[in-house]
Amino acid sequence: MPNIMNRSIFPKQQQGAIMIITLIALSLLMLSALALIRSFDTSLSMAGNLAFKRDLVNQGERGMAKAIALFNTGPLVTEGARNGNSLTNNYSATTLNSDSHGIPLVLINNAAFLAAGMSSGADVSDASTGITVRFVVDRLCTTAGVAFSSDKCIGFKQTSSQGGTSRDAEKKVGQEFQPVYRISVRATGPRNTQAYLQTTITR
């Protein structure tokens, strides 16, 4: 009679190794999914902030145009008006204190802006977009009064000539010193996003 090996009728007990490996794999997949979602949210937030920045720069041009209009047809059209401060128009006849980037501190800090006596009435506000544009203008001079030399102001001399014949026109009859005026603009929008613009002009 052939030998028949005894076989257990009960299956071997599971050791649980496959379950542990499966749980580890699921945990890794969950962590990867969370990292992907977080990265996606960060990308969306950055894209939104960049869009706000671009819009703020465009809106800031409105403040720049309003400041330049003060020199063309507004209260600062004459040299006499520019020799002194015009705080209601956010204008200083002397150089304003600035940070390391050259932005006037009164434009960065609202409390400093009010303490300097400047007016928020010159702000350009858009209630529909929640954007507010503020500008300040300062003449790059150490003292107020007539700007006549580079010892007091940053500027340049413009040579003028007398009319008449072509030969007479070549004669220099005087030099007019023109100081530099710095226009700084801050645009503030949603999420407290801010953009700064700056330019200089001469008059």
Interval 114-168: pLDDT, tens? 999 999 988 998 888 888 999 999 999 999 999 887 888 998 887 655 554 443 3
* Residue 83 included in any domain: yes
* Residue 171 included in any domain: yes
Report how many domains make up the chain: 1
pTM for this model (two decimals): 0.69
- Here the tokens at position 160 are 């003028």
* Residue 139 included in any domain: yes
State the residue range of the domain holding 112. 45-202
Contacts 24+ apart (CB under 8 A), 67-75: 67/135, 67/137, 67/183, 67/185, 68/183, 68/201, 70/137, 71/181, 71/201, 71/203
* Residue 172 included in any domain: yes
Ranges of beta strands (E only) in the chain are: 91-92, 124-126, 131-139, 155-161, 172-188, 194-202
* Residue 145 included in any domain: yes
* Residue 98 included in any domain: yes
Burial of 182 from C-beta contacts in 10 A (0-12 / 13-18 / 19+) = buried
Asked if 136 contacts 90 with a C-beta cutoff of 8 angstroms, the reply is yes
* Residue 22 included in any domain: no
Q: Band of the pLDDT at 11, cuts 50, 70, 90?
A: low
